[in-house]
Amino acid sequence: MPPTVLDWSPTVDPSDFVRRVREELTAGRVVVFPGDSGYVALAEPTSPAAPTFPAPAVLVYGPDDPPRLGVNVPTAARRLMFRAWPAPLTVALPADPAAVPAGWPAPVWEAAAAGGVVRFRCPEHALTDALLPALSGPVLLSETFQPTAALAAERFGDAVQLAVSAGEVNATRRPTEVTVTEAGWRLTQPGDFPADEVERLAARIVLFVCTGNTCRSPLAEGITKALLAERLGCPAEALPAKGFWVLSAGVAAYGGGPATDLSAAAAAEFGADLAEHRSRPVNPHLLAAADDVIAMTRAHAQMLATHYPGLGPDVRLLCGDADLDDPIGAGPEVYRECARTIREHVGRFLPGWVNE
């Protein structure tokens, strides 16, 4: 008997689709669902079909889900899950096949943790955003790489009684797989998520904040890049590959403006190049993604707390308990002294960043 096929479009409220999928999964049946690399098959770990799932991954919403299965999420994996997902990106994490999570049949967990890693996925599709928050627990995912729900359902026979169709989807894409440990990450399966994006998104994001993002915070960004590059023995443009992405922004920046001439000149004296700098305003996405937010003054920190309460890490002042005055309108020596002060205080942060 062919499965029931529910046709969905972006103009339709997904709540009924989510309810039907949840009911089918709870009943132990396989559901075919649109993904970002063709259609996928979903099943509860306790489903009769779960032990037969080929190369199962675990469908998760974000970095807080794997620990519920007893799987540790290293910092780089947390960053990728938070910053990149949903996307055609599989994050594989070390796991013990013998440490069976509560409620999982041992053979299913052993299959999911084959080779000592568990693969986690959050496919990029509008329906994924609606479904994942509604699930009560982990769900197995198997890629079919089929462009239609009907073709995907054929793979699982009578185990599928419900398929959600979003029309024909691109089944030529392949998820990039990254294996992450506490020691770092490595690309274990090339795919359609670019490797340079993995480098960038897995890196520690350090964000310096001032007012207009044309003087102090660009100086801090440039000098920090120069110091990190020197310490790590690489050019500044290679820092993302070494695990660091240094940025700056302004609480009152318009965006797109260059660093002031005197800032660029002072930066050059300390080995930093601001020729390509363009100002950007602070925004909630940038704050939420940052690992470190460092403000020039208490007023900047207060503005961030007021406009973006609870968003991002705790804001720290560059100079400890003191404000760094704005050199705008002053002469070269004031800019030079500002750069010296920045270099001195950035040096306090470097040992913690590089050695963590």
* Nearest alpha carbon to residue 332 among 276, 275, 274, 264: 264
Q: At what angle do helices 195-202 and 75-84 cross, to 10 degrees?
A: 110
Q: How far is CA 275 from the centre of its chain?
A: 29
CA separation (Å) from 252 to 5, 80, 143, 220, 244? Answer: 51, 29, 46, 17, 25
Domains and CATH numbers, the chain: 4-200 (3.90.870.10), 203-355 (3.40.50.2300)
pTM: 0.84
pLDDT attached to residue 30? 97
Q: Is the peptide bond before 14 cis (omega within 30 degrees of 0)?
A: no
pLDDT attached to residue 54? 87
- The 10 Å CB-count burial string (b at 16+, else e) for 56-70 is bbbbbbebebbeebe
* DSSP assignment of 281-324: B--HHHHHH-SEEEESSHHHHHHHHHHSTT-SSPEEETBTTB--
pLDDT in single tens digits along all 356 residues of the chain: 789 999 999 998 999 999 999 999 999 999 999 999 999 999 999 999 999 898 899 999 999 999 999 999 999 999 999 999 999 999 999 999 999 999 999 999 999 999 999 999 999 999 999 999 999 888 999 999 999 999 999 999 999 999 999 999 999 999 999 999 998 899 999 999 999 999 989 999 999 999 999 999 999 999 999 999 999 999 999 998 889 999 999 999 998 999 999 999 999 999 999 999 999 999 999 999 999 999 999 999 999 999 999 999 999 999 999 999 999 999 999 999 999 999 999 999 999 998 75
pLDDT attached to residue 269? 97
* 305 CB neighbour count, 10 Å cutoff: 14
CA distance 112 to 145: 19
Question: Which residues pair with residue 42 across a beta bridge?
Answer: 31, 141
Q: Which residues are catalytic?
A: 210, 216, 326
**Ramachandran angles phi, psi of 58, nearest 5°:** -115, 125
The DSSP code for 193 is S
pLDDT attached to residue 356? 58
pLDDT attached to residue 137? 85
pLDDT attached to residue 2? 84
CA distance 63 to 81: 6
Contact 249, 257 (CB under 8 A): no
Structure-token pair, residue 312:
């991002």
CA distance 160 to 146: 15
Q: What phi-psi label fits residue 103: left (phi over 0), alpha (psi between -120 and 50 degrees) or beta?
A: left
* Nearest alpha carbon to residue 198 among 173, 177, 225, 224: 177
